[in-house]
Amino acid sequence: MADINSNAKIPPQNSGGEATAGGAQARDAEAAWDIIELLFFAYRDFVGDPDAVLLKYAFGRAHHRVLHFVNRNPGMKVADLLDILNITKQSLGRVLKQLVDQGFIVQKEGAQDRRQRLLFATAKGEALALKLAALQTERINRAFGELGPGAHEAARRFLTAMIDGDNREGVLRQIARADRAKTRG
Amino acid sequence: MADINSNAKIPPQNSGGEATAGGAQARDAEAAWDIIELLFFAYRDFVGDPDAVLLKYAFGRAHHRVLHFVNRNPGMKVADLLDILNITKQSLGRVLKQLVDQGFIVQKEGAQDRRQRLLFATAKGEALALKLAALQTERINRAFGELGPGAHEAARRFLTAMIDGDNREGVLRQIARADRAKTRG
DNA sequence: AATTTATGTCAGCCATATTGACATATTTTG
DNA sequence: CAAAATATGTCAATATGGCTGACATAAATT
């Protein structure tokens, strides 16, 4: 299980009588198969939502990731973005250049440190970022609507607990900071 | 936000005083930013676990996905796998061939329909699939351990609700069927 | 017998990632 | 101040995992 592409239907199974070729099954009883697979399918659908919109701009998911985090963290450094995305600067380079060239992101020289190229979403970039987030929010709110109250908090707690322990605080701080950044405006 | 690569630390933010280039923020108040980003980071760490193991076999996430579903659904048809992964047979071909050539998966002619090449994990393949699932299960169980009882059920409900409505039943059936398949052995 | 289905394969292309080397400007340090 | 470190960018080559289109084969269905 890893990242995924997009949607697909679960096909009818042939459930034939053939036995598995392997021998040793039984002690995988405790494996959390349900969560592993639900996470796979849920995430697949979740990231699939924006794809149609991105297609119209000839953008891929790489662009989405960059735009999302830049929009959420106005003035972030290139190095910070690289750390969040965990890609090389060469990989970021191409995608970022396209976003800048097409006016979705601007880079401004750092005030204290003029080597830095701080990243900002333009109005155009923010509009796209919000459109994409709205699609995903729609799915999330639909889910919370189906589940009872408290579902949001439960999901937040579950997802937080799934993050690497040594990184969790940083993530929470980052989310809180971004919230502030985007709320004050 | 979309699929991701692997781990990375959240860097300190420069939180500079620069204002965003865009103008319109404020009505994104209802966007579920927290869930969007938590899902991103949680999934990133979740799929990152197996990467180190896969590296030793010179396998990628594509191999993991194939091996996972074949192991969970012994005797599945190639066409079913294509539908679950939502890739083309040409894409599957390369990865599947490597798994077959290296003895992780075997293909058997269908009994009723001899055109079919039913897929089975070998003992070797199952061992690897279980090893990878164990890593992910470890993370999941750690999370459920931190949260109280009922966390498993809550997570299951949340993730299920996040799946496309028209696909949800199929996913649940698929998971249940796989559980049966691997339990009877 | 003709058609459809399940699968495989060849060939070429694209997006996104990688490593390594090197360049430039700026800040920090000895 | 000179040297070293840092932030960023860029060139080139390469790998992975997707894609489309075309075509092939065997077996099932009509």
Residue A25: is its pLDDT beyond 60?
no
A22 close contact with B: CB closer than 8 A: yes
- Domains of chain A, earliest start first: 33-184 (1.10.10.10)
**Yes or no, beta carbons of A39 and B23 under 8 Å apart:** no
Q: What confidence tens digit (pLDDT) does each residue in A62-100 have?
A: 999 999 999 999 999 999 999 999 999 999 999 999 999
Mean pLDDT calculated for residue range B150-160: 97
CB pairs under 8 A between A and B: 392
- Mark yes or no for CB contact A185/B26 under 8 Å: yes
Interface membership of A100 toward B (CB under 8 Å): no
User: Residue A54: pLDDT above 80?
Assistant: yes
Alpha helices of A26-164 — where are they, by DSSP H?
33-48, 51-56, 61-72, 78-85, 89-101, 123-146, 151-162
A185 touches chain B (CB under 8 A): yes
Provide the total of helices (H) and of strands (E) in chain B, helices listed first. Answer: 8, 2
Does residue A31 contact residue B133 with C-beta atoms inside 8 Å? yes
Report yes or no: B100 at the A interface, CB cutoff 8 Å.
Answer: no
B183: pLDDT strictly greater than 50 = yes
Determine the Cα–Cα distance for residues B154 and B160; give it in Å rounded to an integer.
Answer: 10
pLDDT tens, A142-163?
Answer: 999 999 999 999 999 999 999 9
Strand D bases within 7 angstroms of protein beta carbons: 6-13, 16-22, 26-29
Q: Hey, are the CB atoms on B161 and A146 less than 8 Å from each other?
A: yes
- In this prediction, residues A111-122 reach a mean pLDDT of 98
Closest CA–CA distance from residue B88 to any residue of chain A (Å): 11
Chain B residue with minimum CA distance to A173: B10
In whole angstroms, give the CA distance from residue A167 to residue B142.
Answer: 15
Band the pLDDT of B181: cuts 50, 70, 90.
confident
